[in-house]
Amino acid sequence: MLIILLILIVDQVSKIYVKTHFQYDEEVMVLGTWFRLHFLENEGMAFGMKFSEHSFGKLALTLFRLIAVVCGFFVLKSLVKKKYTKGAIVCGALILAGALGNLIDSIFYGMIFTESSYHVSSLVPFGQGYGSLFHGIVVDMLYFPMVNTFLPHWLPIIGGKHFTFFDPVFNLADMAISTGIITLLVFQKRFLGIDQKNKTIATEKSEQ
């Protein structure tokens, strides 16, 4: 689908640009202080969550992503074939595109980029990068600390502590996955029903 291709292109272009133009942990203000580009790399799942500290954990996570993407393609194909609503199909496409975007990082980035720890990374010939196949690190850069304050001292336990919302740094692929899942949860009754209009048209055509 076109939506999957567009998300993949924007996601990969943004990641490659940030990785080859930003030093690690470098930050640029985009809109005031509440929207920033902040380059980080994530060895785990979405929004900085880790599956394991060991290299085996990284490999297992990449393989899990690969299986999820393959299954996602078949699920999306089934949604289209069974004439589910456009909303359900679009949400499925968002989730699949996001998963595929981060999978590309996990599989290939270690093979084609130098490390970003002490200098700006650069593209290198395949196999001369910082890691091995299936051990790449996902690039994150979107940071929205819209609330950055200290909590009132009268609050029990957490009073006086620094509070930031939204603190995790993420990427467009993460955003696509979250948008697809949240939209499905909110509109599940409307989206997860078969499109009766399309079903009727398909039935009429088959009877002719």
> Where do the structural domains in the chain lie, given as residue ranges?
2-207
pLDDT at 93: 96
pLDDT at 200: 53
Which of 134, 144, 65, 49 has its CA nearest to residue 101? 65
- Whole-structure pTM value: 0.83
Contacts for 71-78 with beta carbons within 8 Å, 24 or more apart?
A: 72/96, 72/99, 72/100, 76/1
Q: Is 140 a catalytic residue?
A: yes
pLDDT at 75: 94
72: CB partners within 8 A, 6+ apart: 92, 95, 96, 99, 100
- Kindly state the tokens that stand for 24: 């690690």
pLDDT at 170: 95
In what order do the strands lie in the sheet containing 27-31? 27-31, 35-42, 138-143
Instruction: Give the burial class of 196: count Cβ atoms within 10 A of its Cβ; 0-12 exposed, 13-18 middle, 19 or more buried.
Output: exposed
Q: What average pLDDT values come out for the chain (208 residues) when binned by 10 residues? A: 94 97 95 93 63 67 92 94 93 96 96 91 95 94 91 87 88 96 91 63 53
Q: How far apart are CA 114 and CA 40, in angstroms?
A: 15
Q: Is 25 a catalytic residue?
A: no
Q: Which of 25, 140, 167, 195 is catalytic?
A: 140
Q: Which of 25, 105, 167, 174 is catalytic?
A: 174
